[in-house]
Amino acid sequence: MTGYLVRRTGQMVLTLFLIITFTFFLVQAQPGDYASFYVLNPDLPPEVKDQIRAAFGLDKPAWQQYLIHLKNTLTGNLGVSFGNFPRPVLDVLAERVPRTLVLFLTATAVSFYIGFFLGKAIAWRRGGLFEYGATISGAMLFTAFTPAFALMMIWVFAFRLGWFPVGKFLDPLVWRGADVSANYVFGNMLLSAAAFITFALLVMLFLKRFGRRVPSVVALPILLGGALVIVVAWTLSGIGGLALDIVKHMVLPVATLTLISFAGTMLLTRNSMLETIREDYVMAARAKGLPDKQVRDRHAARNAMLPIVTSLVYSLIFAIDGSVIIESVFSWPGTGLTLLEAVRSEDLPLVMGAMLFIGTLSLLAHVIVDVLYVYLDPRIRYQ
Amino acid sequence: MTTPVPVGPIPTPEFEVELGRGRVRFVLARLRLMWRSFRSGWGIFMESRMGRLSLFTIVAFALMAAAHPILMAFVWDPATYDPVTGYSFDQVEQPAPPSWKHPLGTDPLGRDVLSQLLYSTRSEFVLGITAALVTVGIATFVGAVAAYYGRLLDAFFMRLADLIIALPAISLLIVLSALFHLNLFYLALIIGVLGGFGGTAIILKSQALSIKVKPFIEAARVAGGGDFHIIFVHIIPHLLPLALLYMMFTVTSAIFAEAVLSFLGLLDLRMSWGIMIHTANTGGYLLGGTRYWWLIVPAGASITLLCSAFYLAGRALDEVVNPRLRRRND
Amino acid sequence: MTDRSDPLLTVDGLSLSYQTRQGEVQAIRNVSFELARGSALGLVGESGCGKTSVANCLMRLLPDNARLSAGRVLLDGQDVFLLTEEEMRLQRWRRISMVFQAAMNVLNPVYRVGQQIIEAIETHNVEPTDTAARERVARLFRMVGLDPQLMERYPHEFSGGMRQRAVIAMALSCDPDLMIADEPTTALDVIVQDRILRELKAIQQQLAMSIIYISHDIGAVAEVTDVVGVMYAGRLVEMGDTADVFQTPAHPYTAALMSSFPSISGERRPLTNLPGEPPNLSDPPPGCPFHPRCAYATDVCRTEYPPQVKSGSHWAACWHPLDVTLVPQS
């Protein structure tokens, strides 16, 4: 198993290297170069133009430029953003990346959970209005034009109902006079979330030692208690209102991304379940007298999950693209919006940096899916 | 195959003609066979409700695309109805709601929405079909070659495909639009190349692998068929049904990608459904909700409908190509 | 509670059909038999003659399109088709367990083999604790000739024979009164087949358990059963003590089936002397279902279903029984 994972990770590192190379030559291939941004100014004397080119390293041969680019990228030097001069690209990304990750991870986790749950339920009880409705609305969500759908969500929930803010990351009115930065509050929110997830995992791990006979009745109050502690801590901290403002802004983008990505998982789960239900071990599980729910969840759905995990890569990449669109519609200042703004203002270093991040995220998704698959399928685990 | 090699006199013209006739007969027989399998496949396709529905939608859109030049030539005055440069002077306020003169109203710049919608339909077809042809052309060739030669060539193309499917396509296109001015043709080409070297190549390769081990390939090789001959005459024709299926999916993704990029204002196109929504959005009309519905609903619905029609056509074709998926009769 | 001399299982006039697109398929027609406690019954016949449907009826594990048109299945005097779904669930495995036909896929590939057996033990509360359940699995593994340490392994690490043993251990795990073995050794090679059969027989006698042994392999059935029933086209056509039936077969079908198996351990030959195929059960022939393939068929066979001819416990449904000691009952 370790061999398999090492090999896959090796491939991923190679792919990342290829992406860096590819982006470099793409920039080389485009008309003009980095410096033309400055050099186009007709007032500049030729010597100054040459100096600028030399400062960018553009007087060197392409292969040397490439090596320099490679070295810089690997040491985290992604250059300076034109649009946010003089902030380094890495600095801009460091601010934006967590926002995208939160949007993306929450939506992915929720949509996978809902999609899987609904998919297995409609496959198990075939026929009837529920299956029909879920399949139709799933197919509609799956094929809906994402920007139009996002705009519709804004119109319904922000304009008509007024439940959530229209877009952006925070409300300036709430933040006026606040003596902490948004990044500070958001960073602490992330820490809290991470702490809670760790806590939940530890509790699960601990309870698992008592065997499967421990009912979830025990786990639920403990987890709720943990959540309560965090909420109380935030309320007492004095910046709870600010955090709440960010959460309010988060709900609609996350919900939209969840809705557009859950349908794929649901339809896939349904198909996969319909195949698995015919397997002999599902029949055997029923013959053993296991309760219906156990047959469905532990035998049918557990195996139906395997092909879903394989195609999870595609769902994740779909969600990455989706989050770029969602960020632009909701003006959510994450990597996707950064990429778009950089593209519009021809801020090439930032474009490259954002693309590098998005590429890395896709590759990480690949690795995570591989690990998950190995974990879920003992036939690969013990090769 | 024991055709004796002609020795002695140089083949006479009659011999050439004979050979030519044989060739014609061979091609005719092949065409007849293809026609027959097409007919049976057509039957299965039309049997499914999905297939009929999708075909109907696609034909309806094709008619819309065909209607535009006719309307422009005979019915509509270009000064008012041109999708890009037209302006409706008789409306007091732009965007104007639907009226007899403008069945779908006008956009914020005073242009007729119906005209824009019909005009864009043609570009969507051109885009989708070009991208699909490029994808399938590349993928069929790559798949057949990778499967036939195997080893290094196979490894190279498959790793390349892995790399391409690991990349989020929309994000990549956004980046490319920053570096190059993308017009319809380049966009179709890029989407086609990405699809052709990406996922479609993997699928067609695995299909080609299952053809490669069939006895008739061995027979062709024993009969002295060269690699080139075997790939083009014996492997690729068997890939075409599956290739057709993936053409449908490529059309869907091409139209979707174009719409998204146009919506983000990154493409260098005259008019498209995405641009129509983009125009409405940048003017802030979309948040007016149902008040300015004609600015978003026709274009948005067209994108969704045409995308899902090609997608459903693909699913229905899937049942033709993969008998395993057909609803069994037991 | 119940008298030991009462039959454990009574199947009375059982008829089952499946609704399909081609119409109603009559999988079982009017099958009746009894099974005494601790005895072994064999059901033989070609594939598709309804043997597995009988087994599924006893477990009440029927697909949605199945319909029980007549008859009862009494387990200890209790009609299984009158139980609620929940009551039936608790009966399964505890009272009747099953060794499935396609044993290769009966074990779920993602769980450890031992765990899948413990799961059944826990469901039916056969053992009070986890530890006791594990010990029980270890005992069962030893009983079927597997190393108890193998319970921590996954199914794909088992050979075909080991999997079959594990499946038998699973079927024994809740001390059932009746075990149905549906083609338990078909997928295995002859030597392993023979060994597992002997062990099965030994275990059955040791636990004083009843067993229904379903197979098309007459040799195997002859080896392990006390009573045998021959099925053809959904009907039970001959039944009696194994020795009686196989020494003096009365029904021509039984004789034809037997002559295709020269001896218990001998080499298998195809059914060369039994031409044709079993009838289509959605449109069975009138009269005796075997008449189209029967060498002795007369006009009466083609029109009327034959009556039972009987001698002691040995009976057959035939107009022209080969064993003339069997006589019609009034």
pLDDT tens, residue order, chain C (330 aa): 455 667 889 998 899 998 887 788 888 989 999 998 889 999 998 877 888 889 888 888 888 888 888 888 988 888 888 888 888 888 899 889 998 876 668 899 889 999 999 989 988 888 888 889 999 999 999 888 889 999 899 988 888 888 888 998 899 898 898 999 888 877 677 787 888 888 888 888 888 889 999 988 888 888 889 999 999 988 999 999 998 888 888 898 888 888 776 554 455 545 456 677 778 888 888 888 888 888 888 888 888 888 888 888 899 998 888 877 777 775
Could B259 and A145 be called an inter-chain contact, meaning their C-beta atoms sit closer than 8 Å?
Answer: yes
Compare all CA atoms of chain A with the CA of B177 and give the residue at the minimum distance: A343
Determine the number of helices (DSSP H) and then strands (DSSP E) in chain B: 13, 0
CA distances from B310 to A136, B248, B304, C232 (A): 17, 5, 10, 50
Contact C11, C71 (CB under 8 A): yes
CA distances from C101 to A12, A335, B277, C23, C329 (A): 44, 56, 60, 26, 37
Q: Which residues in chain B have their CB less than 8 angstroms from residue A139's CB?
A: 308
Checking phi first, is residue A171 left (phi over 0); if not, alpha (psi -120 to 50) or beta?
beta
Q: What is the DSSP letter of B324?
A: G
CA distances from C43 to A152, C101, C214, C253 (A): 65, 14, 5, 14
CA distance A12 to A4: 12
Could you count the other beta carbons within 10 Å of the beta carbon of residue C180? Answer: 26
Contact A165, A158 (CB under 8 A): yes
CA angle C83, C85, C90 (to 5 degrees): 85
Task: Output the pLDDT for position A55.
Answer: 67
When scoring C21, C25, C64 by the number of chain B Cβ atoms within 10 A, the one with the most, hence best to mutate, is: C21
CA distance C216 to C28: 17
Residue positions counted in chain A: 383
Label residue A225 exposed, middle or buried (CB < 10 Å: 0-12, 13-18, 19+): exposed
Task: Output the pLDDT for position C228.
Answer: 93
Q: Where are the beta strands (DSSP E) in chain A?
A: none
Asked if the C-beta of B1 comes within 8 angstroms of chain A's C-beta atoms, the answer is: no
CA distance C300 to C286: 10
pTM, full prediction: 0.79
Residue A53, both tokens: 């080119």
Has residue A15 got a pLDDT over 70? yes
Omega of the bond leading into B215 within 30 degrees of 0 (cis): no
| d(CA A150, nearest CA chain B) in Å | 11
Residue C296, both tokens: 């002795």
Name residues whose C-beta falls within 8 Å of residue C253's C-beta, 6 or more positions apart in sequence.
C230, C232, C237, C238, C290, C293, C294
Provide ipTM, 2 decimals.
Answer: 0.83
Contact C259, C59 (CB under 8 A): no
Contact A72, A78 (CB under 8 A): yes
Residue A164, both tokens: 């959530």
CA distances from A249 to A94, A145, A170, A227, B171 (A): 20, 22, 6, 21, 24
| d(CA C114, nearest CA chain A) in Å | 14
Interface of A with B in 141-170 (CB under 8 A): 143-148, 151, 154-155, 159-160, 166
Contact C62, C36 (CB under 8 A): no
Q: Look at strands C314-317 and C235-241 and give their pairing.
A: antiparallel
A268 — pLDDT class (breaks 50, 70, 90): confident
CA distance A196 to A199: 5
CA distances from C133 to A114, C130, C165 (A): 35, 5, 18
Asked if the C-beta of C47 comes within 8 angstroms of chain A's C-beta atoms, the answer is: no
Task: Output the pLDDT for position A38.
Answer: 59
CA distances from C105 to A103, A283, A285 (A): 41, 10, 12
CA angle C228, C284, B326 (to 5 degrees): 105
Task: Output the pLDDT for position B42.
Answer: 80
pLDDT tens digits along C17-51: 988 877 888 889 899 999 988 899 999 988 778 88
Task: Output the pLDDT for position A383.
Answer: 53
Most confident by average pLDDT, A9-18, A153-162, A288-297, A355-364: A288-297
Amino acid at position A62, single letter: A
With CA atoms as reference, report the closest residue to B307 among B139, B77, B121.
B121
Which residues are bridge partners to C31 per DSSP? Answer: C14
- Give the pLDDT mean for A267-275: 85
Q: Which residues in chain B have their CB less than 8 angstroms from residue A343's CB?
A: 174-175, 177-178, 266
Compare all CA atoms of chain A with the CA of B290 and give the residue at the minimum distance: A155
Instruction: Give the SS3 label for residue C288.
Output: coil
All residue ranges of chain B with pLDDT < 70 are 1-23, 287-289, 322-330
Please state which of the ranges A54-63, A78-87, A104-113 shows the lowest mean pLDDT: A54-63
Alpha helices in B150-291 (DSSP H): 151-165, 169-179, 184-197, 199-212, 215-222, 227-229, 236-263, 273-282
Task: Output the pLDDT for position C102.
Answer: 64
Contact C39, C299 (CB under 8 A): no
Which among B159, B265, B308 is the nearest to A143, CB-wise? B308
Contact C165, C144 (CB under 8 A): yes
CA angle B136, B138, B139 (to 5 degrees): 60
If one compares A117 and A11, the residue with the highest pLDDT of the two is A117
Residue A210, both tokens: 């008592």
With CA atoms as reference, report the closest residue to B271 among B95, B65, B105, B129.
B65
pLDDT tens digits along B272-325: 888 888 888 888 777 666 778 888 888 888 988 898 888 888 877 877 776 655
Asked if the C-beta of C63 comes within 8 angstroms of chain B's C-beta atoms, the answer is: no
CA distances from B205 to A222, A376, B62, B229 (A): 52, 28, 32, 18
Mean pLDDT of chain C: 85
Label residue C10 exposed, middle or buried (CB < 10 Å: 0-12, 13-18, 19+): middle
CA distance B16 to C91: 81
Task: Output the pLDDT for position C223.
Answer: 84
Q: How does A4-33 read in b/e, with b if 16+ C-beta sit within 10 Å?
A: eeeebeebbeebbeebbeebbebbeeeeee
Contact C144, C199 (CB under 8 A): yes
CA distances from C125 to A289, C91, C118, C137, C175 (A): 12, 12, 10, 14, 12
Q: Which residues in chain A have their CB less than 8 angstroms from residue C123's CB?
A: 288-291, 294
Q: What is the DSSP letter of C18?
A: E
CA distance B143 to B140: 5
Mean pLDDT of chain A: 82
Compare all CA atoms of chain A with the CA of B306 and give the residue at the minimum distance: A143
Partner chains of C (3+ C-beta pairs under 8 Å): A, B
CA distance A316 to A374: 18
Which among A280, A288, A294 is the nearest to C105, CB-wise? A280
Could you count the other beta carbons within 10 Å of the beta carbon of residue C23? Answer: 11
How many CA within 13 A on the CB side of residue B136? Answer: 21
Determine the number of helices (DSSP H) and then strands (DSSP E) in chain C: 10, 13
CA distance C127 to C129: 6
pLDDT tens digits along B162-178: 878 878 888 888 888 87
pLDDT tens digits along C111-168: 999 999 998 998 888 888 888 999 999 999 988 888 999 989 998 888 888 888 899 8
Interface of B with A in 135-164 (CB under 8 A): 159, 162-163
Query: Which domains does chain B possess?
Result: 118-292+309-325 (1.10.3720)
Q: Look at strands C235-241 and C227-232 and give their pairing.
A: antiparallel
If one compares C57 and A209, the residue with the highest pLDDT of the two is C57
Task: Output the pLDDT for position C240.
Answer: 92
Please state which of the ranges A79-83, A251-255, B209-213, B296-300 shows the lowest mean pLDDT: A79-83
The set of long-range contacts for A225-233, using a CB threshold of 8 Å and a minimum separation of 24, is A226/A196, A226/A199, A226/A200, A227/A196, A230/A192, A230/A195, A230/A196, A233/A192
Task: Output the pLDDT for position B138.
Answer: 93
Residue A15, both tokens: 């792919």
Q: Transcribe C38-99 into DSSP letters.
A: T-EEEEE-STTSSHHHHHHHHHT---TTEEEEEEEEEETTEEGGGS-HHHHHHHBTTTEEEE
Asked if the C-beta of A378 comes within 8 angstroms of chain C's C-beta atoms, the answer is: yes
Task: Output the pLDDT for position C265.
Answer: 46
Instruction: Give the SS3 label for residue C241.
Output: strand
Asked if the C-beta of A296 comes within 8 angstroms of chain C's C-beta atoms, the answer is: no
